[in-house]
Structures are given as structure tokens and as C-alpha cells.
Amino acid sequence: MALPNPALTFEQSAIISAASTSTADVLLAIQGAFADLSVNVWTTVRGNEAAGGANPAIRIIAPSSSPISNFNAIIGAPTVTGSFTKASYRDHTAAYTGDSATQDGHLWLAIGPDGYDAGTAPADWLTAGDAFGTGKRESGFWVATDISGSGASAVTKVWVVASEETCAICFRYAGDSNCGFLYFGAIVEGVNAANVEHDDRLYGMCTAGSTSLTPMSNFWHIYRGLDKDQCLSHEWLVNAAHSGLFDPSTTDAATFPATMSSRGDHQLYQRITSTLTFDGGLALAPIQSWRSQHNTGHATGSGSANGFCGRFRGIYYTPYGTARSVLLDSEAAVKGYRMSGSLVTAQSDGIIFGNG
């Protein structure tokens, strides 16, 4: 294997409505969305719950035919405070504490790139570290999203957009114009062979957090990653949006570093209105991933820990439009699926899960 990484091809599941905003029903809806996939089949297994199902969770496993078939994730909703590992969002000089105490109604996400050992993993994912088994790297948990709060924070519909190596769980909150997503897998293409894993990939996850009810605003992509609590950004605040990659230079899970994506600098003129090429085709404008030191929530712009990680794989800037719309090139070939903050409003900025 070698850089660049293979191009990805996505498929989009149907929208699955949760029977209610309860933890159990939202997780069932997520499983239903995964079950709707027919090509890039990421499987789910319900379990790792305490007696009586007090801490429900599902494990999400990459396709068996995927180059990252060992990759898996845990998404769950603890109802009590436990001692499970919480991911730090670090400044690379001192680690802040992890996300705040567990709360009913929050989904938490963790990833493991090296597989899952059922024989050494705890029976209840909440109660301890090593949620993926002894010796398996794990990210620790970040708050992924609110799910069952009142008003705009309640998750009512979900869908999945999946490629062979990356996966997005997309959420619609109480209203059609309140959407966001999680992204995980081999999500960043690195700079060179010295700065990637042995398989030439970089593994990570991006969470929306629970502090924002509109993780993809109408002007989503014009903001810098650390200045807004939105998808693909990385905030130093607890329960906010986070993005992280495993450091390929070490096997220590504690070095799961913070990254952020660069999305402009608060200037409306940077809003993308078209990505058509001269010949009428569709260009895929990349999104950058940076490793940064932090100072009161902002990138400092200097320091040895700063650096360019690479570009996000499979997701690109797109002209504004509705979520789930299919983007075609001039020859009517499917180029990908748009994700934005609204299922109904065409003026919401977003991304494309891009094919090729």
C-alpha cells in the first residue's frame, strides 16, 4: 500500500425515524439505518450492557472486505456516571480533563482501529477502560450528541452514509433544519509515509457534541474550526464538538491528539456557491485537517506540536443545498451525497460525501 489512499465510494441509507427519543429507540434507529446498507455493509451488534440494559450500547464494525476490517466503534448512552475512559482534548503540552460526567440522553462515541477482543473486554462497556480488549488502542469516549433532551436537542431521525473505510451517522433533531453528523474510520489522508500508520492511513473520529442544537448552520463552512461548536471542529470546552486522530508514531492511546479543520475565517465572500469545473464537471474541494496547540480554545498558530495532518477523506466542500440531495456531474454520474444542516432548506452550507 502507498499514498495516496484509494478513492472512496459512498452509499446512503434511508432515513430511519426513531419510535421515540428514548436512548433505546434512537440506538435502534441507528441500527436500522446500518441494516439498510447493501454495498458498504458496516454491521452492528447490540450488547455490552449492564444487567437490565441500564447502559445500552452498540458496536459498529467495518465491512469484512474493507482494508480496515479490524476497525470498530462503540456508541452508547450511559445512564449513570461510570469509570470508563474519557478521551482528553489536549493541547499537546498538558491534557485537559475529559468530557463532563455522564448524563442520560447523551450518546458517547469511542473508536478502536485494531480490532475487538471479546475475551478481554469488560462485560459492561461503561465500567472500565479497555473497552476494545486488552492491548487494543482506543480513543476513549467523547460526547457525540444529545439524543433525548427536550425541544431542539431531541433526535428524531437518523441515516448513515458509508464508504468502504469511513462512516457517517447523520442526525435530524426536533426540526428538519437542525441536522448534524458524526464521522469515523480512516478519515484523513496523511502527508507522507513517515506520518501515517503502517497501512498508510490515519484513523480518527469527529463528534458534534451536545452543546449545539445546530451543528451545521446555514453558514457552516465559512467558520474556522475552533471558533464554532460545529461538525468537524474541535473545541476545548466540555461536551462540545471534537475531532481527533490516533498518533501513528505511538501505540499509546493517551496520544489520541486533537485536530481541527480549516474552514475560512468569518468572511461571507468565502462562501462556496459552485464547484463546477470549466467543462461542467463537479470538482471536489478538500477540507484540511490540522494538529494544533490550544490556548483558551483557539489555535495558537505556533509550536512544535502544530502541523498539517492531511486532508479529510471522502468529504469535501459543496455549494449550499439540502441534506441527502444527490450531486451529479455533467454526464449525470453520481458524484456523491450532500450533508448540510437542513433537510428542507436549500440555503444551508455543507459537505459532499464524494465518490472518486
Give the span between the Cα atoms of 198 and 2, in whole angstroms: 10
Query: How many degrees, rounded to 5, is the angle at CA 132 between CA 127 and CA 133?
Result: 90
Total domains present in the chain: 1
Among 144-148, 198-202, 334-338, the least confident range: 144-148
Give the span between the Cα atoms of 147 and 23, in whole angstroms: 7
Q: How far apart are the first and last CA of the chain?
A: 18
- Evaluate whether residue 282 is within a structural domain: no
The boundaries of the domain holding residue 70 are: 11-268+288-316
Give the span between the Cα atoms of 207 and 260, in whole angstroms: 12
77 Cβ contact list (under 8 Å, min separation 6): 23, 26, 27, 55, 56, 57, 104, 105, 106, 107, 108, 147
- Evaluate whether residue 60 is within a structural domain: yes
Give the span between the Cα atoms of 110 and 57, in whole angstroms: 11
* pTM of the predicted protein model: 0.90
Q: For 75-115, what is each residue's pLDDT tens digit? A: 988 766 555 566 654 433 333 344 555 556 788 888 999 99
- Evaluate whether residue 159 is within a structural domain: yes
- Evaluate whether residue 121 is within a structural domain: yes
Q: Is 64 left (phi over 0), alpha (psi -120 to 50) or beta?
A: alpha
Q: For 291-343, what is each residue's pLDDT tens digit? A: 765 444 444 444 445 678 889 999 998 888 999 999 887 777 888 999 999 99
